[in-house]
Amino acid sequence: MIVASTRASRTLSTKEFRHLANKIGNLERPFLKEFFPRWIESCGCPIMRLGISYNKRRNLVELAVSRGCTAKADPGSDSHVNGDIQEGATGWPGMMSVRVHETDGVYDHPILPMAGEALQVVELQCHSKLAAKRFQKTKKGSKPDGSDDNVDASTQENRTSMDSPLLWIRVDPEMEYLAEIHFHQPIQMWINQLEKDKDVISQSQAIAVLEKLPQLSFAVINALNNFLNDTKAFWRVRVEAAYALAVTASEETDLAGLLHLVKFYKSRRFDTDIGLPR
């Protein structure tokens, strides 16, 4: 009714919405006073693009961060008059947290500044240490550095993940910011996140990443299948795992995802004695 009486097209501008909201619900309360200037009238919500590299010698994680925003500030707006609003046009208050799951525990690092330089490299010190490895003799046909041309990408990925005390990493795990986050970590760390993290949001995020991988390994398919069969997992996330198995089924993986789905269906809907639906 408010919209219809305001504009024939049944749409509201931000200014009209603020006026009506303030008139009806007293929106201009102290704790909401800076919401519109910071999140709507300036550059909107942050877009974070992050990637990691483990420094084995210093036992730390180097986190590369690129911070952008969903919209550009309007040069003709009043956002350049007020100093507080001007700050919102270039950044956001506080520090974004990074949660590192290591072999010896879980550690939170609230060290990502949400204002200042848009491109940054942040160092996260690891608390866990790798166990000493015994020297392995180089196999015939392998390179001097220990790598092998016959080893596929997934095996190399697993080998890399074993060379660090990191299990998986989450950015803004408590979702304290209205942010769009694009985070890159090794595939095995996404699998670890799916299999070991009990947070349903974390599980869903891992499935979304694994589902969109350009090349799928059997380790990814098996992880999705194991999660689908986990009766202790939240049913809604299990549905996402089933959907991921369906959309990733291809000849490259011998339709393994589809076969897992058929097996899952038969185990619950078929009579084991006669092999027909109940």
pLDDT value of residue 93: 86
pLDDT, one tens digit per residue, over 117-127 is: 999 999 999 99
Domain 39-130+167-174 has CATH 2.60.40.1840: yes
Contacts of 59 (CB under 8 A, 6+ apart): 125, 126, 129, 165
pLDDT value of residue 28: 64
pLDDT, one tens digit per residue, over 183-229 is: 999 999 999 999 999 999 999 999 999 999 988 899 999 999 999 99
Domain boundaries, the chain: 39-130+167-174, 134-164+186-278
Contact by Cβ (8 Å): 163, 130: yes
pTM, to two decimals? 0.76
Average pLDDT, the chain: 81
Spatial separation of the C-alpha atoms in residues 114 and 86, rounded to whole Å: 14
pLDDT value of residue 72: 63
Q: How would residue 148 be classed by pLDDT, with cut points 50, 70 and 90?
A: very low
Rg (CA), the chain: 25
pLDDT, one tens digit per residue, over 46-72 is: 999 999 999 999 999 999 999 999 876
